[in-house]
Each structure stands twice: as structure tokens, then as C-alpha cells.
Amino acid sequence: QVQLVESGGGVVQPGRSLRLSCAASGFTFSSYAMHWVRQAPGKGLEWVAIISSDGSKKYYADSVKGRITISRDDSKNTVYLQMNSLRAEDTAVYYCARGQYGGVTTVWGQGTLVTVSS
Amino acid sequence: DIQMTQSPSTLSASVGDRVTITCRASQSVSNWLAWYQQKPGKAPKLLIYKASSLESGVPSRFSGSGSGTEFTLTISSLQPDDFATYYCQQYDTYSYTFGQGTKLEIK
């Protein structure tokens, strides 16, 4: 079945880096754009980044621009989120999601929790 | 960036009620508007895309309308499974902004 599984979350100190991974299965990964969306504890959803199906286009939320990089490896059916210079406000559950219909997200992973704390 | 504002923030209703949630955009997003449902501890689920298109498998009691800057999500007859938080999202620009959410509670 169609599935997305995130990994790589954990506790990290402010200023450090972390890379999240999202493994896809059950669909033709290379045909879809992929998103990352985050949700701080008890808060709403915040879109973070998108990468196009061919990897040529990447867009970011202003709140993470310059600190976060999205990438994909179609040979591994995996999308990544490299997060640098982490701040306390980056603490959240990070979801990867499949893009469809021109920009919405139709399939989501279960999320991985990132906690930025000293 | 385009700002999305939902109202109300919290809505109390009973099973069988008809409820409407409103989402307003700070500038026109045409009909590039989606609605999601999220239950505690779970990932969001797409309900509506392109303002009024029902995602496959979503019950027909859910409907969306609107264009430009004002949109609504209507649930025609609330079921127990519908008590959750609902988010709108614009995808007109590459900022994909979400609204702040509307929590639908049991009265």
C-alpha cells in the first residue's frame, strides 16, 4: 500500500544539525513532488518545503529559508530534510507528504519528532 | 506571504448538526484551496481540493465552496467521527500557507 515513513528525529542542541529521511513505498516516487510540513506541540500546521518530481525546483517557508534544504534520491525512494542552525522554535513533529493536484498533499507519513533543547 | 484566517477557532456542535467553517485569504488564491481534517496524534487527511473537489473516499456530507478570498467547508450532518481539527491551506503560491485551524468539539 501507499506509505511514507519518516525517521531521523530526536533531541538536538540549539545550533546543531539534523537530517530527516522519508522513505516512500507503494507508488512511483519519481512522479510526485514531495513536501515537508511541521507541527509544533499543541500548535497548527506549518508548511516547510517542497521539491518537484524531478528535483529541479525547491521552495521553502520564509521561517526556514537558508537553514533547511530539501533533497530527494529517487533510486532510494527517499526525500530528505537537512536542518542546520537549529533553534528552539524548530521543535515540532515533522511530516513528509506526497504532493498532488497541483500542490495539495494526499498521503502523509506518521511524523518524526524533533526537539531542539540544551 | 498570503495569510489564511479561519473562523471560528473553536466550534461546539452536536451529532446531526450542519456546520460551516470559513477561511479567508489575505489576497486572492483563485480556487487553489484545500481542506484537511486532523485528529489528535494523527497526520492530517485531505478532504477537499481546488476549493470544492471531494477527495476520493471522503464522505459526501463534506463539501467546499468559494473562490478568490473567501471559502467555506460545510459538514451537512455531523457524525461522531467528524469531531476533529480542520485546516484550510492555499496553494496558489509557493508558500502553501495553512490557516490556524478550527477545533470542532462535541456540545
Nearest CA in chain B to A52: B94
- Residue whose C-alpha cell is 489564511: B4
pLDDT digits (tens, 9 = 90+) for A86-118: 999 999 999 999 999 888 999 999 999 999 999
Paired residues of A25 in beta bridges: A3
Report yes or no: B38 and B104 within 8 Å, Cβ to Cβ. no
Residues 6+ away with beta carbon under 8 Å from B86: B6, B21, B35, B36, B37, B38, B47, B73, B101, B102, B104
d(Cα B50, Cα B30) in Å, to the nearest integer? 9
Render B4-66 in DSSP notation, one character per residue.
Answer: EEEE-SEEEE-TT--EEEEEEESS--TT-EEEEEE-TTS--EEEEETTTEEPTT--TTEEEEE
Contact residues, chain A, for B49 at CB < 8 Å: 101, 104
Per-residue pLDDT of chain B in tens (107 residues, 90 and over written 9):
899 999 999 999 999 999 999 999 999 999 999 999 999 999 999 999 999 999 999 999 999 999 999 999 999 999 999 999 999 999 998 889 999 999 999 88
Mean local confidence (pLDDT), A27-31: 97
pLDDT for residue B66: 98
pLDDT for residue A103: 87
Mean pLDDT, chain A, rounded, equals 97
pLDDT for residue B95: 84
Give the count of alpha carbons within 13 A of A107, CB side only. Answer: 19
pLDDT for residue A108: 97
pLDDT for residue A22: 98
pLDDT for residue B93: 84
d(Cα A103, Cα B49) in Å, to the nearest integer? 9
Nearest CA in chain B to A96: B43
Paired residues of B20 in beta bridges: B74
Contact residues, chain B, for A62 at CB < 8 Å: 1, 95
Q: Do B96 and A44 touch (CB under 8 A)?
A: no
Contact residues, chain B, for A105 at CB < 8 Å: 44, 46
With an 8 Å Cβ cutoff, is B103 touching chain A?
A: no
Q: Do A50 and B96 touch (CB under 8 A)?
A: yes
pLDDT for residue A34: 98
With an 8 Å Cβ cutoff, is A2 touching chain B?
A: no
Report yes or no: B103 and B10 within 8 Å, Cβ to Cβ. yes
**What φ, ψ does residue A30 adopt, rounded to 5°?**
-65, -10
Contact residues, chain B, for A110 at CB < 8 Å: 43
- Which one of B1, B98, B99 has the shortest CB-CB distance to A62? B1
pLDDT for residue A102: 83
Nearest CA in chain A to B34: A104
pLDDT for residue A67: 97
d(Cα A84, Cα B72) in Å, to the nearest integer? 38
Report yes or no: B78 and B21 within 8 Å, Cβ to Cβ. no
- Which one of A50, A59, A105 has the shortest CB-CB distance to B46? A105
Higher pLDDT, B1 or A31: A31
Nearest CA in chain A to B94: A59
Distance from CA of B78 to the nearest CA of A (A): 23
Contact residues, chain A, for B84 at CB < 8 Å: none
